[in-house]
Structure 1
Amino acid sequence: MSDTITLAAPFDAHVHLRQGNLMRLVTPHVHQGGIRMAFVMPNLVPPLTLPEHTIAYAKELQALAPSLHILPSLYLTANLTPSHIREAKQGGIVGVKSYPRGVTTNSEGGVGMEGYAVYDAVFAEMERVDMVLNLHGEVPSDIDGDGTCVLNAEERFLPHLREINRKFPKLRIVLEHCTTAAAVEAVKSLPPNVVATITPHHLHLTIDGACSTPLGFCKPLAKFPSDRAALRAAVASGSPKFFLGSDSAPHPSRSKLPALGVTLPSPCAAGIYTGANLVPLTAEIFERSGIPVDRLEGFVSTHGRQFYGFPARDGDEVVLRRVEGRTVDKAYGYKTDKGEDEWVIPFLAGEEIRWEIAA
């Protein structure tokens, strides 16, 4: 097996970069982790619901990471109009992100029980101007009603995916961070303009790992071993329908590991941070998962870039080399906006990984 891997300008199709001092910490990490283009999420406080807000945020990020190609996104809300879509397209915004209401971080303004038909005019305009619809593919829990919970919320979303594609057959759609065999099969059954992202942590975790520590807790929740096997098989197949979207989501340690008595929307913040080590970590997880490393370039670069329409540029290659004894940092320290000491704890903190970025 080769001790080096050359990759054409890796692309992360799903990354959270936050705000304030946390943003200043993690934004440079994206390039450090081997990524050369990143699709950035809009679920800030307040969310990026207007094109001018998204454009201003992208400029702020670009100043922190001048070598990173940033693809900004807009938050889907009931106030979004077709004219906003035209303005967004003209401003260089490439996608609109849909969140299920109240399911994950800063998703209170997302789609609730009213469903997706109310957005038909927006979707039609997105189809016309060729913008991407990015779907967090879950429905809100309704435990005492129809029994929807974190384990079946993704599968119960899939009829919405099929219906949106039926109504808008040319609309480019990304089912983000899919976690189930059912989602893999749904994406495979739909046309080439419907694709999915997969996270490295979902290639690694099952529900046991997701529930045994707050550091493994994310939305969507990692599922059963059979679901993980389906994700691995989809990536190993080399299908261009499946590519990297890390969902790298930094949280302060006091939100991931809250003390007793702290009240949060969930027992701990949902999110796993992989940004600072993303490409080497993905190579490591490929090897641990039995996925051929020769599938890595398609997964981390070629497939996503082809779908979004941004070919890799010469000179943006990333070279990985095999090493011994390299461990993931245990935490990244920073000062909060209030001046307090805080840390972000990365995925596989303290564990040895056998790849690093050489160039």
Structure 2
Amino acid sequence: MMLTLTRPDDFHLHLRDGQALARTVGDALGQCARALVMPNLVPAVDTLEAVSAYRQRILAHVPKGADFTPLMSLYLSQTLSPETLLHAKAQGVLAVKWYPKGATTNSAQGVAHLEALEPILSVMQEVGLILLIHGEVTEAQVDIFARESCFIEEVLIPLRAKFPRLKMVLEHITTAHAVEYVRSQERNLAATITAHHLLFNRNQLLVGGIKPHFYCLPILKKEEDRLALVQAAVSGDRRFFLGTDSAPHARSAKESACGCAGCYTGYATMAFYAQVFERAQALDKLNDFAAKFGAEYYELPYNHGELVLEKRVWQLPETLPFGDTVLVPFLAGEQWHWQVVA
């Protein structure tokens, strides 16, 4: 069985930097034609000079003639100026990413409360830059499984009331609550959904022992949440589209007493999504989810070219080279039933 798609977009991808790019860029261009690259490096990508330099480091790993375009974002920090945003779109920046301080990997430079940055959000609203949101509160008293729902009620709803014309993306949604909220909004809000949140619930992380390679932020949720995400992804609703949040870490950083959050799905992105959509008897909806709805929201043309998957059994690799070490990819060593072949 063969499945032919328009070359997809990944609207949420971590490529990292330095030696990691040899792994991540090569994997990405085998799965998608464009990827929106996250800016949470150390130091954060929060100036146009940093964006330009990072783009060039990425492009240095794209073979000549390869069909891959990195789409760039800025990191919302105290040092980001309104003047920078006025010139950002002209220099190819699509969006600004807000990481609440302490919410996830490399979020120490993030902003805990947006009140001080309202002038920046006003400029974004005027120039048409999209606000990308890691939608979790970080207060210690809030249960980790409730942080997304609390964020929607306590932060996102007031924020959207204050900036109704600011286009936003609620990244990597994980709950039925998030699905319902996005559906309730008529304009200027969309959401990305990852493959790992579509495939598994929190039992996969915790039952039978803690499995660090399923640990991600936002954390996996209940089965009813997973089913709501699947229903949203296959529904044909243009407000939901593909964003992997693929996030590589060296094996030693995951398999430790304080393991890092992130699942490396980027080596087999479309194989994972294809299995989700097949199980839901909705393979005919995958092309729109992966290659059209995100492009429409970001006001980009559809990609040219095709990606071909074949339904056949293959074994996912146990490890992958990662600079001078290795990483353990998502579902390492498992047998899978879809594979990109062209």
Q: TM-score, normalised by structure 1?
A: 0.90
Q: Take 1:334 and 1:119, find their aligned partners in 2: how far apart are those partners?
A: 37
Q: Take 1:270 and 1:334, find their aligned partners in 2: how far apart are those partners?
A: 17
Q: Is the 8 A contact 2:33 2:303 kept in 1?
A: no
Q: Take 1:253 and 1:78, find their aligned partners in 2: how far apart are those partners?
A: 33
* Paired residue secondary structure (1:73): strand
> Do residues 55 (structure 1) and 52 (structure 2) align?
yes
Shift in Å, 1:223: 0.6
* Paired residue secondary structure (1:64): coil
Pairs within 5 Å for 1:26-41: 26-32=24-30, 34-41=31-38
Q: Is the 8 A contact 1:187 1:241 kept in 2?
A: yes
* Paired residue secondary structure (1:313): coil
* Paired residue secondary structure (1:128): helix
Structure 2 partner of 1:271: 262
Letter in 2 for 1:279: M
Percent identical residues: 37
Q: Which moved more, 1:59-68 or 1:170-179?
A: 59-68
> Do residues 225 (structure 1) and 215 (structure 2) align?
no
Q: Is the 8 A contact 1:102 1:140 kept in 2?
A: yes
Q: Is the 8 A contact 1:320 1:355 kept in 2?
A: yes
> Do residues 149 (structure 1) and 133 (structure 2) align?
no
Structure 2 partner of 1:104: 104
Shift in Å, 1:133: 0.4
Q: Take 1:268 and 1:68, find their aligned partners in 2: how far apart are those partners?
A: 31
Structure 1 partner of 2:84: 84
Q: 1:66-111 deviations in whole A, cap 9, x for unaligned? A: 5311111100012222111112222111100000111210000112
> Do residues 319 (structure 1) and 291 (structure 2) align?
no
Structure 2 partner of 1:264: none
* Paired residue secondary structure (1:275): coil
Residue from 24, 36, 40 that aligns with 1:43? 40
* Paired residue secondary structure (1:231): helix
Structure 2 partner of 1:339: none
* Paired residue secondary structure (2:96): strand
Q: Take 2:3 and 2:187, find their aligned partners in 1: how far apart are those partners?
A: 28
Pairs within 5 Å for 1:205-220: 205-211=200-206, 212-220=210-218
Structure 2 partner of 1:177: 172
Q: Is the 8 A contact 2:20 2:322 kept in 1?
A: yes
Structure 1 partner of 2:187: 192
* Paired residue secondary structure (1:151): helix
Shift in Å, 1:222: 0.7
Q: Is the 8 A contact 1:75 1:98 kept in 2?
A: yes
> Do residues 330 (structure 1) and 318 (structure 2) align?
yes
Letter in 2 for 1:199: T
Shift in Å, 1:224: 0.8
Letter in 2 for 1:322: K
Q: TM-score, normalised by structure 2?
A: 0.94
Instruction: Flag the 1:343–1:193 CA change in 2: closer, same or farther, 3 A.
Output: same
* Paired residue secondary structure (1:333): strand
* Paired residue secondary structure (1:152): helix
Letter in 2 for 1:5: L
Count of aligned pairs: 335
Q: Is the 8 A contact 1:210 1:221 kept in 2?
A: no
Q: Take 1:8 and 1:56, find their aligned partners in 2: how far apart are those partners?
A: 30
Q: Take 1:176 and 1:78, find their aligned partners in 2: how far apart are those partners?
A: 21
Shift in Å, 1:291: 4.9
Q: 1:303-323 deviations in whole A, cap 9, x for unaligned? A: 111111122233x21111222
Letter in 2 for 1:39: L
* Paired residue secondary structure (2:28): helix
Shift in Å, 1:167: 1.7
Shift in Å, 1:9: 1.7
> Do residues 297 (structure 1) and 287 (structure 2) align?
yes
Shift in Å, 1:137: 0.3
Q: Take 1:111 and 1:182, find their aligned partners in 2: how far apart are those partners?
A: 24
Pairs within 5 Å for 1:230-249: 230-249=228-247
**Structure 1 stretches of 4+ moved >4 Å:** none
